[in-house]
Chains A and B, each alone.
Chain A
Amino acid sequence: MKTQNVKRIIFYIFLVLLIGIYLVPMYMALITSLKEPSKINLLTSWSFPAKLNFGSYSRAFKLLKTDVSNSLILAISATVLSSFIGSINGYVFSKNKFRGSEIVFTLLLFGMFIPYQIILIPLFQVLKSIGLYGSLGGLVVAHVIYGIPIVTLLFRNFYDQIPGSIMESGRLDGAGYFGLYTRLILPLSIPGFVVVGIWQFTQIWNEFLWGITLTKPSANPITVGLSQLAGGQAVSWNIPMAGAFLAALPVLLIYIFLGKYFIKGLLSGSVKE
C-alpha cells in the first residue's frame, strides 16, 4: 500500500513538471511583457519583474488597434455567414441524402486539406479584378468560401446524431422540407452552431497567409499586425510579447471557458463518434 502511494506521488510530481514545461512559453511572454523596457536583458530573461509595468499593454494595444478591430469584424462576419451555409448544407448531406450526395460531399471535403498556396495566385487575381483586393471584404469572401468544406462536415456530423425518427414524426405531422428544417432541426442546432462558431472564429482569428498576401495595411488582421510588431531586429521585447498576449487573448478565453466545444470541433474531423 505504501509503495503504491509513493508511486502515485512520484507520478503527480512528474505530471506537474510536464505542465510546467508546457507553460514555459506563456510564462516567459507574460513576465517579459510586464517588465520595464530598460530592465529587459537576456541574462535575466527568466526572472520575475521586480516592479510590474502594464505600460507595454497599452502601447501594444495602441499599435494594434486597427488590426484588432479588423480581425473582430472579419472573424464575426465570416463566422456568421459560414455557420448558416454549413447548417443548411449539413441538413442536406445528413437528412436528405440523394444518389450521388456522398460523392459530392467527398469532393467538397477535399478543399479542406489542400495547402492554400495552390489557390493563392488565382485568388489574388480574381479579388483584384473584382476590386476586393486589399480590403477586408476580400478576406471575408475568402474565409466564407474556403470554410464551406469544414462547416459542412461539422454540421453533417452533428445532424447525423439527430435520430431519423424525429424527422419521420415531423413528416407525419405534415411538415415539409423547410418546415422540418426551421421547426425541428434548427432549434436542436444550437450546440452545433456553438461548435462551428467557435471553430471558425478561432481559425479566422489565427489565419495569416491570406492576411499577408491579400490585404493592404489598413485592412491587416491581427496576425499580420503582430508579425510586423515582432519582425525586424526588435530591441525591446516587451511590446511584441504584450502584443502576442493580446492576439492570443480572445482565443485563449474561448478555449478556457468553452473548451468542451472547441475540442469537439477539433476532434470531429478525425474521430468517429
Chain B
Amino acid sequence: MAATISKTRQRDKLTSIFIILPSIILVGIFIYGFIGTTIYTSLTDWGKSAGLALNPVKHFIGLGNYKDLFTGFIHSRFRQDVTNTIFYSLFLLAGTLALGLFLAILLDRAVKYEGLFRTIFLYPMSLSFIVTGTIWRWLLSPNGGINLIPTAFGLPKSNFLWISSRTSILTFNWQNLPTILFIPLGLLTLFLTFRNIRKNKMTRGIVYGIITLLLLLYITVLRNIIPPILPFKEKHGLNLATLGIIMAGIWQYSGYTMALYLAGLRGLSESMKEAARLDGANEFQYYWKIAIPNVKPITLSAVIILAHISLKLFDLIYALAGADNINTGHPAINMYLTTFRANQFASGASMAVILFVLAALFIIPYMIHSHRERKY
C-alpha cells in the first residue's frame, strides 16, 4: 500500500514537471537567456556599421558603451534622462502614495455610494498610457486646457509651457551626482545602524555601520581625490517640462494605490478600531498611529510596483510629449531611439541594461522577501 502511494507521488511529480517544463524553457530562453544576450550585446560595438545586416559585425569592446553613456560628450541627453528618471520616480511615488492613502481614508468611513466614488477614482487605471497621453496632451497645450483654469476665477490665464518648457531647477553638476545620492543614503544607513544595535541585532548593525562609514569616506575624502569623470561642468536638474507627465501619471495611478490601501484598511479588524476609540484616540490619531503602520506591507508592494511603472513610462511620455522631446526624456525613450531609429544596437542595449539594473535594485530584494514569506 505504502509503496503504491509513493509510486503515485513519484509519477505525479514527474507529471508536474512535465506540465511546467514548456513554461520553464520559454521563460528560461525569452527572459533569462535574452537578458544575458542583451548584456553581452551591450559589451560589443554592434551598430557601429551596418547594424541591420543579416550577419552584423560585432566586436567585444568591454565596458566602452557604458563609459560613453556616463562620460561621452554626445550622451549628455542620456545623463539628463537618468536625472529625469530619478525625479519621475520620486514624484510619482510620493504623489500616488499620498493621494491614494488620502482617498482611501476618505472612503473608509461608511460613505454612501462608495462604489461609485471608488469606480471613478480608479477608472484611469484601466486606460492605456497612450489614451491618457493623447488626452493630456490636449489638456496641457500652452494656450488652452489647464492653463485656462485661472480665468474661471477672474485671473489672467497661465502661460506655463507644460511639455515644452526649457527651464530646469535644482540643477547640479553631473560630477556631484554620487555625493547627492550618497548623503540621503548615508543618513538612512546611519539610522538603520542605530536601530539594529538598539534591537540587539549586532551583525546587521555593524554591516550598516560599515556602509555608513564608506559613504562618509567618499563624501569627505574620496570625491576630492578621484579625478573628475567629465573635463567640463555639466548641469542637470529637474526639468519643469516633466511636471505635466508626472501629473498625468499621478492622475492615472492614484486610484490604484487607493484600491490597495482601501483593501488594507478594510482588513484591519473592527476590534482594533474599537480599542483605539476606547483608548480615547481621535480619528487622526487612529490613522496615524495604528492604521498606517499596519498597512506597511501594502506601502511596500505599492512602492515596488510604482517604481517599476515609473521605469516603464515610455508609453506615456511617447504619447504626451513625443519621443523627440529632449526636455521630458527617459532612458526607455532614448533606448528606443538609439536602437530602432539609429540602429545603434550595442549602445541601446547598454541603456536597457542600466534600466534593468535600476529595476532589479527594487525587485530582487522584493522577490526574495516574498519568496521567504510564501515559505513561512
| CB pair A120 B123 closer than 8 Å | no
Contact of A263 among B251, B259, B352 (CB under 8 A): B259
User: Is the contact region of chain B dominated by helix, strand, or loop, or is it mixed?
Assistant: helix
- Contact of A22 with B352 in the complex, beta carbons under 8 Å: no
The answer to whether B291 has its CB under 8 Å from any CB of chain A is no
B135 part of interface (Cβ distance < 8 Å): yes
Cα(A84)–Cα(B312), bound, Å: 28
Check A117 against B332 for contact (C-beta < 8 Å): yes
Q: Using an 8 Å CB-CB cutoff, how does the interface string of A35-68 with B read, 1 for contact, 0 for none?
A: 0000001110110000000000000000000000
Which of A110, A122, A241, A243 is the one whose CB lies under 8 Å from B34? A122
Q: Is B41 an interface residue (CB 8 A)?
A: yes
Contact yes or no, A104 B20, CB < 8 A: yes
- 11 contacting pairs across A/B (C-beta < 8 A): A15-B106, A15-B111, A22-B251, A25-B135, A25-B136, A92-B16, A98-B17, A120-B352, A122-B34, A148-B27, A241-B134
Is B123's CB under 8 angstroms from A206's CB?
no
Contact of A117 among B30, B122, B356 (CB under 8 A): B356
A46 and B13 contacting across the interface, CB-CB below 8 Å? no
Bound: A32/B145 CA distance, A:
11
- Evaluate contact between B353 and A247: CB separation under 8 angstroms: no
Is there an interface contact between A110 and B31, defined as CB atoms closer than 8 Å? yes
| CA A208 to CA B353, docked complex, whole Å | 20
Q: Does chain A have a CB within 8 A of B12?
A: yes
Q: Which residues of A contact B41 (CB under 8 A)?
A: 121-122
A28 within 8 A of B: yes
Q: Which residues of A contact B111 (CB under 8 A)?
A: 15
Which A209-223 residues have a C-beta within 8 angstroms of B?
209, 212-213, 223
With CB as the reference atom, state the residue of chain A lying closest to B297: A272
Given contacts A118-B352, A209-B314, contact A96 B16 (CB under 8 A): yes
Closest to B362 in A: A113
CB B228 to nearest CB in A, in angstroms, measures 30
Decide yes or no: A148 and B23 within 8 Å by CB, A102-B371, A248-B127 being known contacts. Answer: yes
Q: Judge whether B125 and A118 touch: CB under 8 Å.
A: no
What are the interface flags for B273-288 relative to A under an 8 Å C-beta threshold, 1 for contact and 0 otherwise?
A: 0000000000000000
Q: A149 → chain B, closest Cβ, in Å?
A: 7
Q: How far is the CB of B21 from chain A (nearest CB, A)?
A: 10
Residue in contact with B301 in the complex, picked from A88, A121, A145, A271, CB distance below 8 Å: A271
A241 and B135 within 8 A (CB): yes
Min CB distance A269 to B, Å, is 7
Of B75-83, B113-121, B177-185, B198-206, the one with at least 4 CB within 8 A of chain A: B113-121
Bound CA–CA A237/B143 (angstroms): 14
Closest chain-A Cβ to B149's Cβ sits at a distance in Å of 9
Q: Compute how far the CA of A104 lies from the CA of B318 in the bound complex, rounded to whole angstroms.
A: 36
Task: Give Cα A257–Cα B120 distance, bound, in whole angstroms.
Answer: 13
How many angstroms from the CA of A132 to the CA of B371 in the assembled complex? 36
B117 touches A115 (CB 8 A): no
Decide yes or no whether A202 CB sits under 8 A from chain B.
Answer: yes
Contacts of B130 in A (CB 8 A): 206, 208, 223, 226-227, 247
Q: CB < 8 Å: which of A149, A207, A251 contacts B27?
A: A149
Point out the residues of chain B lying under 8 angstroms from A123, CB to CB.
30, 34
> In the docked arrangement, what's the CA distance between A123 and B33, Å?
11
The size class of the interface chain A forms with chain B is 35 or more
| CB of A190 closer than 8 Å to a CB of B | no
Q: Beta-carbon contacts of A167-211 to B below 8 Å, as 1s and 0s?
A: 000000000010000000000000000000000001001111100
Contact of B268 with A by CB under 8 A? no
> How near does chain A come to B36, taking the closest CB pair, in angstroms?
9
B315 within 8 A of A: yes
Any A CB within 8 A of the CB of B196: no
Residue of B nearest to A237 (CB): B138
Q: Complex: how many Å from CA A251 to CA B131? A: 11
Q: Check A114–B20 contact: CB distance below 8 A.
A: no
Question: Contact check: which of B128, B297, B359 meets A115 at CB < 8 Å?
Answer: B359
CA distance A229 to B30 in the complex (A): 32
Contact present for A252 and B136 (CB under 8 Å)? no
CA distance A43 to B141 in the complex (A): 11
Which residues of B lie under 8 Å from residue A267 when comparing CB positions?
259-260, 263
Contact with A along B300-325 (1 / 0, CB 8 A): 01101100100110110011001000
Q: Mark A84-119, 1 if CB is under 8 A from B, else 0.
A: 010011011100101001111111111101111111
Interface check B35, CB cutoff 8 A: yes
Complex: A129 Cα to B241 Cα, angstroms? 40
A115-B311, A117-B352 as given contacts; A25 in contact with B144, CB under 8 Å: no
Minimum CB–CB distance from B341 to chain A (whole Å) comes to: 10
A162 interface residue, CB < 8 Å from B? no
CB-CB nearest 4 A-B residue pairs: A42-B144, A206-B128, A270-B301, A119-B34
Q: Is B175 in the interface zone, CB < 8 Å from A?
A: no
Q: When A28-B138, A113-B308, A118-B355 are in contact, do A152 and B23 touch as well, CB less than 8 Å? A: yes
How far, in whole Å, are A104 and B374 apart by their CA atoms in the complex?
13
